[in-house]
Chain A
Amino acid sequence: KAGVTQTPRYLIKTRGQQVTLSCSPISGHRSVSWYQQTPGQGLQFLFEYFSETQRNKGNFPGRFSGRQFSNSRSEMNVSTLELGDSALYLCASSLVNNEQFFGPGTRLTVL
């Protein structure tokens, strides 16, 4: 079974731009969660989607948004990028019982 995939793997943007990251879950998994990983703050939960609906949201500003499609693929969008948004963005999918399988991440650098 193929694992969670994320595209692109690396991204460089400038302040003020917007970015869209994509996550394809393991086949059959309906829940997709997103996390931001930084050296200072560690792993922080952004949001979770289940069956195309946002089921949970972390404490991030409204510039961070996401969506999920009918095939369970998910995208997250960050608008008006700030330098502090530079991070590794991880997505994870799960089938049941909250056992999450993580993707390799997208490394976003904001200049």
Chain B
Amino acid sequence: AQRVTQPEKLLSVFKGAPVELKCNYSYSGSPELFWYVQYSRQRLQLLLRHISRESIKGFTADLNKGETSFHLKKPFAQEEDSAMYYCALSADSGNTGKLIFGQGTTLQVKP
């Protein structure tokens, strides 16, 4: 079965501290994984995708097929990073517009 698990509902850190948002997936094929972010009162938007291997707003995520994980990391959290983060898996090897989302993790960065 295709599934995405984000084990933490809430992650609270202080400004300047490192951040790691966990994401594990279950998928039999070759996965395509994404991180989406939703800031307060804004729409859901793409943060990064594993195939582009980019660093967006200081965030990176590495696909680890052995551990079936795609954790999101940032070395120094900023207050403006406070938001809801969703990990998502593209079903059907990315050939269709079906995303399977995790339950989301709220990141709270305290001053």
A residues whose Cβ falls under 8 Å from a Cβ of B: 3, 31-33, 35, 42-45, 48, 50, 55-56, 58, 90, 92, 94, 97-105
Listed in ascending order, the chain B residues whose CB lies under 8 Å from chain A are: 32, 36, 43-46, 49, 51, 86, 90-92, 94-104
B98 x A56 contact (CB < 8 A) = yes
Contacts A42-B103, A43-B86, A99-B49; A58 near B43 (Cβ below 8 A): no
Nearest-CB residue, chain B, relative to A50: B97
Residues of B within 8 A of A33 (CB): 97-99
Q: What are some 17 contacts across the A-B interface (CB < 8 A)?
A: A33-B99, A42-B101, A42-B103, A43-B86, A43-B104, A50-B97, A55-B97, A56-B91, A56-B98, A94-B97, A97-B51, A97-B94, A98-B94, A101-B45, A102-B36, A102-B45, A105-B43
Q: Are B97 and A58 in contact (CB under 8 A)?
A: no
Give 5 closest A-B pairs by Cβ, nearest first: A43-B101, A33-B97, A48-B97, A102-B44, A31-B97
How many residue pairs bridge A and B at CB < 8 Å? 62
CB-defined contacts of B92 to chain A, threshold 8 Å? 56
Say whether B43 contacts A45, CB under 8 Å: no
Contact (Cβ within 8 A) A100 B46:
yes
| A102 neighbours in B (Cβ, 8 Å) | 36, 43-45
With most chain B CB atoms within 10 A of its CB, the pick from A3, A32, A42, A101 is A42
User: In the complex, what residues of A have CB within 8 A of residue B96's CB?
Assistant: 31, 48, 50, 55-56, 98
Q: A42 to B104, alpha carbons, bound, how many Å?
A: 8
Question: Whole-angstrom distance between the alpha carbons of A105 and B49 in the complex?
Answer: 23
In angstroms, how far is the closest chain A Cβ from the Cβ of B16?
Answer: 30
Write out the residue numbers on chain A whose beta carbons fall within 8 Å of the beta carbon of B44: 90, 92, 102
CB-nearest residue of chain B to A29: B97
Tell whether, in the assembled complex, residue B97 and residue A92 are in contact, meaning their CB atoms are under 8 Å apart. Answer: yes
